[in-house]
Amino acid sequence: MTASVMIPVDRHTLDTEPTDGSRTYAIIVCMFASLGGFFFGYDQGVTSGVLIMDSFLNDYCVGWHNFTYEECTRSTSDLPGEWTTFTVWYNMVYNLGCLVGALIGGYVADKWGRRATIFSAGLLFCIGTTWVCLNPAQDHGLMYIARIVQGFGVGNSS
């Protein structure tokens, strides 16, 4: 059984005046705060294209477990199992990073405020993206870690 309590409110004491500040500033802050959703969608869209690019396949598939270029470019159902596992986890660790980043983002926002949250989210995403771009070929473990860092940033900003 639930109970409710009514609290009387004197409507004359409520603040009805708009706050001081620039509308442009508020719009810019909202744009930066909404970047998390943009980053998530953009990264998911770009990643699917990157996974089939020749340069990515040559760096991360060809030669790994002695795979040939022909094996790495087969139809989805005929791809080598290890390569399929890598590509699935390549996307999955990003999503797991987003999950953890969202949880951490709430703590950061409560402890240090909105600006620190937005700044740390952007910084983590930039570090992760730079790491993905500069990751040595055939280093699948470091690629997973870089994707997790990207996910932390995107999750933190959401």
Contact present, 144 and 93 (Cβ < 8 Å): yes
What CATH number does domain 36-157 carry, 1.10.287.130, 1.20.1250.20, 1.10.3720.10, 1.20.120.80?
Answer: 1.20.1250.20
pLDDT score of 15: 60
pLDDT score of 99: 94
Q: What is the mean pLDDT of residues 24-43?
A: 80
Which token pair is 2?
């639930």
**Does residue 104 sit in helix, strand or coil?**
helix
Q: For 17-21, 81-85, 152-156, which range has the lowest pLDDT when averaged over its residues?
A: 17-21
pLDDT confidence tier of residue 80, bands split at 50, 70 and 90: very high
pLDDT score of 142: 94
pLDDT score of 77: 86
Give pLDDT tens digits for 89-148: 999 999 999 999 999 888 888 999 888 888 898 899 999 999 999 998 889 999 999 999
Buried b (16+ CB within 10 A) or exposed e, 19-42: eeeeeeeeeeeeebeebbeebbee
Q: Structural domain boundaries of the chain?
A: 36-157
